[in-house]
Structure 1
Amino acid sequence: MRVQNLRLLALAVFSFAVTCVRGLELIDSSLASACIYYEKTFDWGCHSHGNGAAAYRCRCGNVNWLGTITNCIANNTKSLRLRNHGFRHVARRCYEKGDFNYTLADMQRFYANGTGYLRDPTTADLSSPVFTTLRVNQTEFDWYYKKMKDLTFSVQRSQWFGWGLVFFWATIIAVTTLFNFNEKFVGLKLTDNWLARSLMIPSLFENMTQRYPRLRAISPGPHPNRLQALVVTAFVIQTIITVGVGYEMKLPHPYLTTRWFMNLDLVSYRVDLMALSLFPVIYFFGIRNNPFIPLTGMSYTTFSYFHKWCAYVCVVLAFIHSIIWTVYARHDGGYKMWAMDSYWQYGIAAMTLMALLVFHSFKLLRDKIYEVFLFFHQMMNIFFIVCMYYHLNKLGWLGWVWSMAGILCFDRAARIVRIILSGGLQKSTLTDCGSGVIKLTVMNPRFLTYRPGSYAFIYFMSPQDPWYYPWQSHPFTVLSTAKGKGIHGNEMAVYFKAQKGVTGHMLYKLLRSGEESINIRVMVEGPYGDTLPQIAKVNRRIVGVAAGLGVTAVYAQILHLLEAQVPEMGCKLYWAVNDLSHVSWFEEELKWLLSQKCQITILCTSPKELEETGSSFNTDNKLLEILDVRSLFARPDLRALVSEEVKEASDQSKDLTFISCGPSTFNIDFRASVSNTLRQKQSIDVALKEESFVW
C-alpha cells in the first residue's frame, strides 16, 4: 500500500538523521581540540591563556596563531579527512566565538603560509608574545592529544549508552513483532498459561483495585499489565545503571582541571546524551501513525504507556543536566554572563516546556479538557523542537532534533495521505439509534481496505458548526467488510455514544432536524490499529464479552478472527446492556453473527426493562426468540461467566480466547476475573484480547 511505502520512507529518513548525530564542541575533533589547548599555553599577544570569546577574537585574527594551529593539526595526522575536519573545527570555533568567517581554503592557505616560518617553541614563548609559527613539542603535545581522545571516548560512551536505550525499545519491538507475525501468519504456540497467568493478563494494580474498589474511581484505568510494567521497570533500571557506570577519566587534564568540574561535566554529558537519544522514541510512540502498532500488534494504549514513561525518564535526565550547569555557573560566578547567551536561554525554555508537557498530561486533566490538552500538547511539542534546535545548533547532536521534526512531519503527511485515500471530504449519513447512540455510515474507500478491528479518526465538517469543531477528530471502531460482502455492503459503519463536544453537537443536530437520519460532510482518517490480516488458522474458541457500546469493538474483533477460525471451534458473544432498546440499533450485526453460528446472550442489567419490552424494544420479535436474553437486575457476575466458559472449553479440550471491551471499570473487573480463573491449573490455553476506548 502507498501508506506503507510512506512509512518505510520515513523510517529511512529517520535512520539517516540519527546517523548525523555528532557533537561540534571539544569532541568533534580531538586533534583540533588538543592543538587548541596546547597552543593556548603560549603568549599570542592576547593577554589571555584562556579559551573565552575575547581570546578567540584575538587569536583568530592572528596569522601566526592560525599558521601554528593548522600546522599542529596537519603534522599530527596522515589522514586528509581528519586534517580537513580539524581545519573546519577551528574555522567553526573562530566563527562562533570570534566572528571570523574562514573557509576550508582559507585554513589551507594559513597552513601553507605558516609552514615556511616554523620554529621550535622556547620557554620565553610562554610569557612573551610570539610573532612566528611554532612547531609542537611532540612529547608534551602527545599528552594533550591522549587526554582529549580520552574525553572523546568518554562522551562517545555516553552516546553508546543513549543508543542502548534506543536498542532496548528496538528489542522489545522486534520480539513483539516476532510474536505478532507468528500469531497472524504461522500459528505456532509460543506461550503458555504460566506466562498468561503471571504476566500477560493480571494488571499491575489488580490486587489493590479488587481489595479496595474505591481506588477504581480515583484511577479508573486503563492499567498496564504486569508484563508492560516489567518492561518499563527494566528500562528504568537500565537507565539508572548506565548513568552510574563508566567514569574512568583521570586528572590532570587540560580541560577538566578539577575533580569537581570533571564529575559535573562527565555526568552532564551522560544524562543529556541519553535524554537526547530518547527523543525519537518518545515521538514515534506518541504519534498516530506509529508504524510499530501494526507490526507488533500492540495497542495504542500500550504505546501510550511506554511513551509516557520514556518522557518521564527523559525529563528527569534533562533536569539533572540543567541542575548541573546551573550549579556550576553559580559556583563559577559566571551565571549572569551565561544567562545572556541564547543557547542558555533556549535550554531553559526547552526544560520548561518538557516539564509542562509532562505535568499537563496527567489523565485527570486529559479527561476533563481533552481537546484543550491536545492543542497545547501539540503546540508545545513544536516550540520544544525549535528551542532544542537553537540550544544545540552550536553544540552539536542536531540529528536528534531533526529526527523529532522528521517524525512530526511524517505523521502529518501520513494523516493527509490517509484522508485523501479514504475519500477526502465526503458525504456521510448520521442515524439516531436512541439512547444517545449515533450510527455514521460512509462509502468504502477505493484505495484502502478497512479490516475488522481497525479504527479511524473522523472530522465533522460543517460551516454551520462552531469554527473549532472541524479541527477536532475522534477515534471510532470501523465495522466494514469487503465490497459486496456482509451486512454493510459498500459502506463502512461507525457507532458512537454522544458525549460533550462535537459528538453531543451531532446528536443535537439530529434531534433538532426531526428526522431519523441526516447527511453531513466528514473526512475519514484511517485505517489505524491492528491492520494485518489473520492468515494462520484460529484453532481456538472465541468468546466476546462486551458492555454497552463496547460491543462494536468486540464484534469487529470477532469478525476479524472468524475469517480464519476453524468452524468447529465455536463462537459466543455476551453483551451487557442497561436498556434492551440497544439491541435494535445493533440488530443487523447480531443477525449476521447468528448466521455464522455464533451464540449470543444479552445480559440486561436493568430490573424493569424486561417488563417494558413492548414499549422500549422495537426490533424483530423473531430475533428475541433466537437470542438468549437474561434479566440480571444487577451487573453480571464476570467471575462466574469466565469460570463457566473456561470449564466448558476445558471439557471440550478447546483453547479459549476472550475478547472484552467496555468502560474502564468493566475492563478492570473482566481482566481480574480471567486472572483469577487462571490461578487454578487449566488443561487448555486461555488468552485475553482487551479493547479499550481510553488511553
Structure 2
Amino acid sequence: MQLINLLQVLLIVTSVVNADKWVSYKHSYYAASGCKVGVDKYANFCGKPETAKVYKCICSNKYAIASWVYCSLSLDPNDEKNIADDIANICHTNYPTSNLTSSQVTNYYNTYKDSAINIDNNTSFNTTNAKSAIYSEKMVKYSHLTYLANQHRWGNVSTSHYLGISFATMVGLVAIFSGIINWSLRLSRNLSHKFNGKTFSFIRKNFNLGIIGTHLHVNKFQGINPDRVEAFLIFLMFLYSILCCTIIGHHWTKGDTIFTTYQAGTSRYYGDRACIMASYQFPFLFIFAGRNNFFQWVTRWKYSRFVTFHKWLGRILFMEILIHGCAMASQTYALKKFTRFGTSWYREGITAAVCFAFILLLSAAPIRRYWYEFFFVSHMVLVICFLSVAWRHAYSQDYQNFYWSCAAIWIFDTLIRACRIISNGGLKTAEIELFPGEDVLKVTVSESKFFKGKPGNHSFIHFLTPTRFWQSHPFTVYPSETTPGYVTYVCRVKKGMTKYISDKCQASPDLKITMKICIDGYYGEQSEYQNYDKSVFITGGTGIAGPYFHAKKLAESNNNREIKLYWSVRTYECIKWFVPELSTFRGTQIKPVIYISKPELNNRSSSGDDENEKKSSEDDSLSDEKSNILKTLDFVEIKHGRLNVDEIIASEITNASGSIAFGACAHTEVVDSVRKNVASSLNLSQHKIEYFEEMQCW
C-alpha cells in the first residue's frame, strides 16, 4: 500500500510541473523582445523589412544586434548581462542556425554604441539599409509598448501557472493537515478524548457533524448533499477558481502592440487563465474518483467524500472550460480571425467542451440511480473522447502533458485494481444464496491469502456473466460464520445485476447458485471504536453487515467493553438471513436489540381467493421459522415497532459511564437522524461523544 501511495504522489508532482515549455520571464526578456519589434519597425539592416516573427537578419547583423542592445538597455538599464543572454537565447530559439553568443552580443554593443546614430535627429540616415547602430526615442517608446504587451501576456501566463501550483499546494496542505489530526486521533486514545468540552463540541456540532439543509441524503432525484466540511472545502475551491479566472492579474494597456483592442487583449487573458487553471485541476478530478486514491489513506476520509469532491470539481472545471471557450471566441471576433473556425485545434477545443458537457449531463443522480449501466458506459466513452481531443487541442500550446497525467492516473488506478483482483485469487467460485424475505443476496467466497478484511472494508465485485462482466459494484465484507476461511458479501436486490442474480437464484430449488466472480478489494478504513468505552451501532436492513464486523472485532479484543447493536427490520422473515451472524454474540458482552416494524406482515404471502391454500401453507411455514428464530436468538431482545433514534441516543448517553461512540448504517433518513441527534447531544455528557457514519453513498 505504501508503494501505491508513493507512486501516486509522483504522478501528482509530475502533473504539477507538466507545463512543458513554460518559462517565467524576467524584465530583461520583455525589454529584449520589445526592442526586437521596435528595431524591425524603424530600420532594415539587411535591405528589406523583417517581420516580428522572423529573426534571420537581426540575429546575424552586428549593427542590428548593437541597436537591439542599445534599445533594450533604455528599457532595463541595469541588466546588461541578462539582456545579452536573453538576446542570444531568443536567437537560438527562433533562428536555430544562429551561433550567436552572449559575449558576442556584448562585444557588438560595446564596439558600436558610441557611433550609434539617433535617427530622430538625422533624417538623412538611410534606414532602409542601415550600416550603423541606431537609436531613436520613437523606437524606444514603441518598444516599450511591446515590452508592456509581452509583460501583460506572458506575465498573465506565469501568474496562471503560479495560481495553478498554489491550488495543488493547498490541496496537499489540507490533506496533510487533516491527516495529522485524524491519524493522531486514531493512534492516541488520550489525545482523541482531549478534543472535548464546549468549544470543541460547538465546532463539531456546527461543522464536523453539520449538514446542509435538513438532510444529507436528500432524495433519489437530487442525490447527496455535501456535509458542512465538504461544502466548506468545495466553497473554497469554487471561490479560488472564480477569483483566479475573473479577477486576479489581468491588465491591458492602450497602445498594446500584440492585442490592439481591449476586447482582444482581455479575452485572451481570461482564456489563458481559465485553461491553465483547469490544466492543474484536471489531475485531481481523476485522482478523487479513483478507488486507489492515496489522499484517502492520508486523510482517513471516506471514499464517498472524495466522490463528492470529484463531482463538484467537475462542475468547477466545466465553468472554467466555458470561460476559456467564450473568451477565445470573443478574441476571435475581436481579431476577426474567422479562419480559426476551420483549424483543427479550434474544432478539437469545441469538441472537448461538448464532451465534458455531456459527461456532466449524463452523470445526474437519476441517471446514475436508474440507468447505471448507461451512465457507466457513457461516462467511460465520453471521458476517453474528452481526453483524446483535449490532448490534441492542448498540444498546440504545449499543455498536452497535463492530459497525459490524467490518463496515467486513470491507467495506474486500473492496473492497481487488476493487481488487487489477482491478489484476491483472480477468478473465484462464489456461492450465492437468496433470502426473499429481505431480498438479500449473500455471496460467500474464499478469503484472500494475502489480504485480510477489516471492519469498514468493502470490495467491488465483478459477477462474470457474458454481458455484465465489466461491471463492478461495492459490497460490505465480513467473515463467514458458516464456512471457516471464507468471507461473506451482502447485496441488496435492486435492479440490474443483483436482479439478474436474484432471478437465477429463484429458479434454483434451494435458492442457491454458484457463479464465477472477481474481487477488487479491500477498500475503506476502520473507524476507531476501540478508543471509546462504549460503542452503539444503529442499523437497518443490510446495513447491519459493517457494524456487525466492528462489534465482533471489539468483542474479541476487549471483554470489558459495552457494545450495543440495534437493528431495524420489517418482519421476522427479514431476520432469517442474519441468524448465523447474530448467534455468534451469545455469551458475549454485546447486547443486540432488534426492532420489527411490521411483525404481522408476511413478505412472501400471496393474494387472491384461488391461492388461499398456498397462503395458509406459507403462513404455517413462516410461523415455524419465527419460532425457530426466537428459539435460536433467545438472548436477543426483540421489540415490535419502529426504531426510535431520539430515545436510543438519549438513553445510551444517560446510561454511559464513560466515552461513547455511535455508528450508523441504515435507511438514509435514519442515518441523518442519528447524525443530527448525536450532534445536538454532545454536551449531555462530560465524556467524549463521537459519531462514525458507516454508510457510504455516491
| Class of the TM-score when normalised by the shorter of the 2 chains | 0.7 to 0.9
CA distance in 1, matches of 2:670, 2:87: 67
1:590-605 to structure 2, matched below 5 A, reads: 590-605=582-597
Query: Any idea what the Cα deviations from partners look like across 1:591-617, whole Å, max 9, x if unmatched?
Result: 223454211001001140599862443
> 1: distance between equivalents of 2:536 and 2:312?
33
Q: Post-superposition shift, 1:40?
A: 4.6
List alignment gaps of at least 5 residues for structure 2: 70-79, 603-618
State the Cα deviation string for residues 395-451 of structure 1 (Å, max 9, x = none): 123332222122111111111111111111122111233332111112111222322
Of 552, 555, 569, 2:545 maps to 552
Aligned-pair CA distance for 1:197: 1.5
Q: Call closer, same or farther: CA 1:522–1:7 in 2, change over 3 Å.
A: same
In 2, Cα distance between the equivalents of 1:79 and 1:425?
66
- Paired residue type of 2:226: P
Match of 1:455 in 2: 458
Show the counterpart of 2:4: 6
Tell me: CA distance 1:219–1:671, structure 2 relative to 1, closer, same or farther (3 Å). farther
The verdict on how the C-alpha distance between 1:666 and 1:220 changes in structure 2, with shifts beyond 3 A counting, is farther
Q: How does 1:445-594 map to 2 (within 5 A)?
A: 445-461=448-464, 465=465, 467-480=466-479, 489-530=484-525, 537-559=530-552, 567-594=559-586
Identity of aligned residues (%): 19
* TM score, norm. by length of structure 1: 0.83
Report the counterpart of residue 296 of structure 2 in structure 1: 293
Cα gap change, 1:48/1:603 in structure 2, threshold over 3 Å: closer, same or farther? Answer: farther
Contact persistence 1:452–1:480 (CA under 8 A): no
Instruction: Letter of the 2:490 partner, please give it.
Output: Y
Residue 43 of structure 1 contacts residue 125 of structure 1 at CA under 8 Å; is this kept in 2?
no
- Distance in 1, matches of 2:4 and 2:85, equals 35
**Distance in 2 separating the partners of 1:126 and 1:414:** 73
How far is the alpha carbon of 1:452 from its aligned partner? 2.0
Between stretches 259-268 and 31-40, larger displacement belongs to 31-40
What is the match of residue 631 of structure 1? Answer: 640
State the partner residue of 2:663: 659
357-366 or 227-236, larger mean C-alpha shift: 227-236
Query: After superposition, where does 1:70-219 map in structure 2 within 5 Å?
Result: 86-87=90-91, 89-90=93-94, 104=96, 106-108=97-99, 144-145=146-147, 148-149=150-151, 151-187=153-189, 188-189=191-192, 190=195, 192-206=200-214, 216-217=218-219
| 1:655/1:262 CA distance change after superposition, 3 Å | same
Which whole-Å CA distance do the structure 2 matches of 1:24 and 1:608 have between them?
72
Q: Tell me if structure 2 keeps the 8 A contact 1:603–1:630.
A: yes
Change (3 A) 1:489 1:368: same
Alignment partners' CA distance in 1, 2:126 and 2:461: 74
- Distance in 1 separating the partners of 2:300 and 2:598: 36
Report how far residue 621 of structure 1 moved. 4.5
Q: Gaps spanning 5+ residues in structure 1: where?
A: 92-103
Separation in 2 of the partners of 1:21 and 1:521?
Answer: 46
Give, in angstroms, the shift of residue 114 of structure 1.
Answer: 11
Letter in 1 for 2:9: L
**Aligned twin of 2:249:** 246
Name the TM-score, length of structure 2 as normaliser: 0.82
Distance 1:185 1:573 in 2: 25
Deviations 1:334-353 (A, max 9, x none): 2x301112111111111112
Note if contact 1:546-1:574 (Cα within 8 Å) is conserved in structure 2. Answer: yes
For 1:684, what is the secondary structure of its paired residue? coil
CA contact (8 A) 2:264 2:330 kept: no
Secondary structure of 2:2 counterpart:
helix
Secondary structure, aligned partner of 1:377: helix
Superposed displacement of residue 524, structure 1: 0.6
Provide the C-alpha distance between the structure 2 equivalents of 1:473 and 1:114, rounded to a whole number of angstroms.
65
Q: CA deviation at 1:373?
A: 0.7
For residue 515 of structure 2, give the secondary structure of its aligned residue in structure 1.
Answer: strand
Deviates more, 1:297-306 or 1:551-560: 551-560
Q: Deviations over 1:298-346 (max 9, x none)?
A: 1121111111111111111221121112122123322x30111211111
Distance 2:93 2:349 in 1: 23
Question: Residue 538 of structure 2 contacts residue 664 of structure 2 at CA under 8 Å; is this kept in 1?
Answer: yes
User: What is the letter of the counterpart of residue 635 of structure 2?
Assistant: I
Deviation at 1:287, TM superposition (A): 1.6
* Secondary structure, aligned partner of 2:505: helix
* Residue 688 (structure 1) aligned to one of 664, 687, 691: 691
Deviation at 1:544? 0.6
Task: Say whether 1:325 aligns with 2:323.
Answer: no
Q: Within the alignment, does 1:401 sit opposite 2:403 as a pair?
A: yes
Residue 94 of structure 1 is matched in structure 2 by: none
The corresponding residue for 1:306 is 309
Taking a change above 3 Å as real, the CA distance of residues 17 and 172 of structure 1, as seen in their structure-2 partners, is closer
Contact 1:272–1:321 (Cα < 8 Å) also in 2: yes
Cross-structure match for 2:37: 37
**Distance in 1 (alpha carbons) for counterparts of 2:132 and 2:364:** 62
Counterparts of 1:197 and 1:401, CA distance in 2 = 41
CA distance in 2, matches of 1:289, 1:125: 75
CA 37–477 in structure 1, closer or farther in 2 if over 3 Å, else same? farther
Give the letter aligned to residue 556 of structure 1: F
Structure with more relative contact order (C-alpha pairs < 8 Å, separation 6 or more)? 1
- Deviation digits for residues 362-417 of structure 1 (CA, Å, limit 9, x no counterpart): 11121111121111112211221112211111212333222212211111111111
Contact conserved, 1:197 with 1:675, CA < 8 A, in 2?
Answer: yes
| Residue 668 (structure 1) aligns with | 672
Number of residues paired by the alignment?
648
Query: How far did 1:36 drift?
Result: 5.3
Structure 1 counterpart of 2:280:
277
Distance 1:579 1:89, change over 3 A: farther
Rg comparison, structure with higher value: 2
- AA matched with 1:662: A
Query: Aligned partners of 1:526 and 1:20: how far apart in 2?
Result: 32
Letter of the aligned partner of 2:551 in structure 1? I
